[in-house]
Chains A and B, each alone.
Chain A
Amino acid sequence: MNIFVLLKQVPDTESKIRISPDRNNIEKNDFKWIISPYDEFALEEALRTKEALKAGTVTVLTVGPDRAVEALRTALAMGADNAMHVKTESDNLDTFLVSRALAEVLKKENPDFILTGKQAVDDDQAAVFGYVAEFLNVPSVSGAIKYEVAPDRKSVKAYKEVEGGAKHVIEMPFPCLVAFTKGLNTPRYASLPGIMKAKKKEIKGATLADLGLASIEPTVKDSDYQLPPERQAGKKIPGDGATQARELVRLLREEAKVI
């Protein structure tokens, strides 16, 4: 089975956000970069599927600037077999163009099964999985927590959790795409032997021009970033219990307007 996992390299969620002077981007120089956690759940599931079936290959694919190679190396060290990188100059492509690039590569590679995260944790757009499935004309489901490959390896059952703890099970024939939410698995660490082996694995590169996409301009442009207002200091109500309670109710009613 030819499994593809679509990854995005994103800033560590603990990174401190600073806006660039022209306000249309974020200062990225000091960031620590990681694989987007939802994509990491997808990768872990893909690796487990391969191990359970004792067959198939797992290829990780990303679109991004040079530094995105680190995310691919990490994925290789975790156990992915192959890696492909669509190299871009800018790291501010819109989701449409990124999805076009991913789809162009996938068309050539003919995967049976495509896994990814339901969204990247940097811009939270949750758009790429849908575009990619559409461009490839394959069925897709988003927000899955697990899946089961059919014994004949021709279809997959994806499980979603819906409101109230109910389960929603969706069956799709291969080829298809499953986009993961925080799943049941704990992604493995890249092991030391894995890191050593990853060194010898080749990362196949391509550019947007190679994919015939050089002339497409991003249609979405970031125009203004704003940080949330600084949080106000808390308020301490003095006095004895009865006074405090009265004042608290007054503030909740008149200032916070919640009761």
Chain B
Amino acid sequence: MIDFTLSDEQMALKEMVRKFVEKEIVPVAKHHDETKEFPHEVIKKAWELGIMNVAVPQKFGGLGLGVFDDVLISEELGAGCLGMTTSICVNTLAIYPILLYGTDKQIEQFVTPLLKEPKLASFCLTEPGAGSDAAGLSTQAREDGDHFIVNGSKMWITNAGHASLFTVFCTVNKELKQKGIICLAIPADAPGISLGKAEDKLGQRASDTRAIQFENVRVPKSHLIGKMGEGFKVALRTLDRTRTPIAAGAVGAARAALGHSIRYSKERKQFNQPIANFQAIQFMLADMSTKVEAARLLCYQAGWCLDNGKEVEGAYFSAHAKRFAADMAMEVAIEAVQIFGGYGYTKEYPVEKIMRDVKLVQIYEGTSQVQRMVIARHILKD
């Protein structure tokens, strides 16, 4: 009954993305890491290949792919450059609220343009004072006739400097806590929006990360995604779907670190033989490999649950997948640098970049600690 084989299309999809990563991402990853230059060209090519916005249903001109297929795409992208993976995949995060809770008209208004041109969208939940405690957000949406007036600021927003659309979580009344939260689709050029400078990050430097200020931004009520007070649920159900592909990106990065380590340890000679002959190195490689394989299976299981209507299990396994994949990728990357020794600590070799890149996966889209809270809540429930 359990079957781990991928379909022919899934194999072809993986192969296609792998080829794209080898030819278009790997050769430029170092450049974008060093310069922090935004990878417009790579994103445009990814869009042309159809690997962005894959969740858009067929009736709106998309492919209607599920979380599982997204996991396959993310792992391959992650093996090339995690920063670019984040920038390429963030459209899906930004549009899921609209796909899940928007009306057909809203999908056509906000999502369809992303299929016609390589445009970007950003998901705006986190604030300077509301990270893990997302429900404590304070960006305010005040009703004014047939408009909302939005005031406040968002923090760590991926692709903010290049996006045409923001899905923004605001509160109509902070005292209502979660029940006061709404989701609004706001065009990036709406008057009153200003962007912070691009953050100078440790890793994932190819992705653009900024703060956004909203100052008396007028948003028509027709831009409300879902019902009044439903915003927090919109955010959580979205994150349940995107957490697993994020985890898969980390699996890809760890896979790449392992691959580099295997090749290097066969070439590097000490004591007159390749270091791969030493049990010390062999055991490190074996453990790294087990971690990668186990994390991938958790991603597959979470993706499968979500695609098969098992929402509760999907949320549970996606927390496991994200927590485990992020932490294991960090461990694997650190081991990779160790295997490379002094060379690994230099920018001449690719493993230090992976180490810097994967650190962010333990932090964004729910820290490893928040994922543990979700898991604990689930297993302690009566």
Contacts and interface: CB of A to CB of B under 8 A. Distances in A.
B12 A73 contact: yes
Interface string A185-218: 0000111111110110000000000000000000
B49 A73 contact: no
B16 A192 contact: yes
From B13, B15, B19, B54, name the one whose CB has the most chain A CB atoms within 10 angstroms. Answer: B15
Given A77-B12, A199-B9, A189 B63 contact: no
A177 B9 CA distance: 32
A189 B51 CA distance: 12
A217 B162 CA distance: 63
B8 A192 contact: no
A74 B20 contact: no
Chain B, interface SS category:
helix
A158 to B, nearest CB: 28
B48 interface: yes
A94 to B, nearest CB: 30
Nearest to B7: A199
A189 B50 CA distance: 11
B9 A189 contact: no
Given A73-B8, A199-B8, A192 B13 contact: yes
A196 B9 CA distance: 7
Contacts of B12: 73-74, 77, 190, 195, 198
A73 B49 CA distance: 16
Given A73-B8, A189-B49, A195 B19 contact: no
A189 B13 contact: no
B92 to A, nearest CB: 13
A194 B16 CA distance: 11
A61 B9 CA distance: 20
Contacts of A77: 12, 16
A189 B8 contact: no
B273 to A, nearest CB: 16
Interface string A161-200: 0000000000000000000000000000111111110110
B63 A196 contact: yes
A135 B13 CA distance: 38
Contacts of B50: 191-194
Interface in B1-32: 8-9, 12-13, 15-16, 19-20
Interface residues of B, number: 14
A195 B16 CA distance: 9
A199 B51 CA distance: 17
A195 B13 contact: yes
Contacts of B15: 74
Contacts of A198: 9, 12
A195 B9 contact: yes
B21 to A, nearest CB: 11
Interface string A54-90: 0000000000000000100110010000000000000
A191 B48 contact: yes
A70 B14 CA distance: 13
Interface in B291-314: none
Contacts of A199: 8-9
B49 A191 contact: yes
A195 B12 CA distance: 7
Nearest to B69: A192
A189 B54 contact: no
A198 B19 CA distance: 18
Interface in A13-61: none
A222 to B, nearest CB: 29
A49 B184 CA distance: 46
Nearest to A194: B50
Contact of B63 (A70, A73, A190, A192): A192
Contacts of A196: 9, 63
Interface in B119-169: none
B11 to A, nearest CB: 8
A198 B8 CA distance: 10
Contacts of A193: 50, 63
B353 to A, nearest CB: 24
A73 to B, nearest CB: 6
A74 B13 CA distance: 10
A154 to B, nearest CB: 34
B43 to A, nearest CB: 15
B20 A192 contact: no
Contacts of A70: 8
24 contacts: A70-B8, A73-B12, A74-B15, A77-B12, A77-B16, A189-B16, A189-B19, A189-B20, A189-B49, A190-B12, A190-B16, A191-B16, A191-B48, A192-B13, A192-B16, A192-B50, A192-B51, A192-B54, A193-B50, A195-B9, A195-B12, A195-B13, A196-B9, A199-B8
Interface of A: 70, 73-74, 77, 189-196, 198-199
Given A192-B49, A192-B51, 17 more contacts: A70-B8, A73-B8, A73-B12, A74-B12, A77-B16, A189-B16, A189-B20, A189-B49, A191-B48, A192-B50, A193-B63, A194-B50, A195-B9, A195-B12, A196-B9, A196-B63, A198-B9
**Nearest 4 Cβ contacts at the A-B interface:** A192-B50, A193-B50, A195-B12, A191-B50
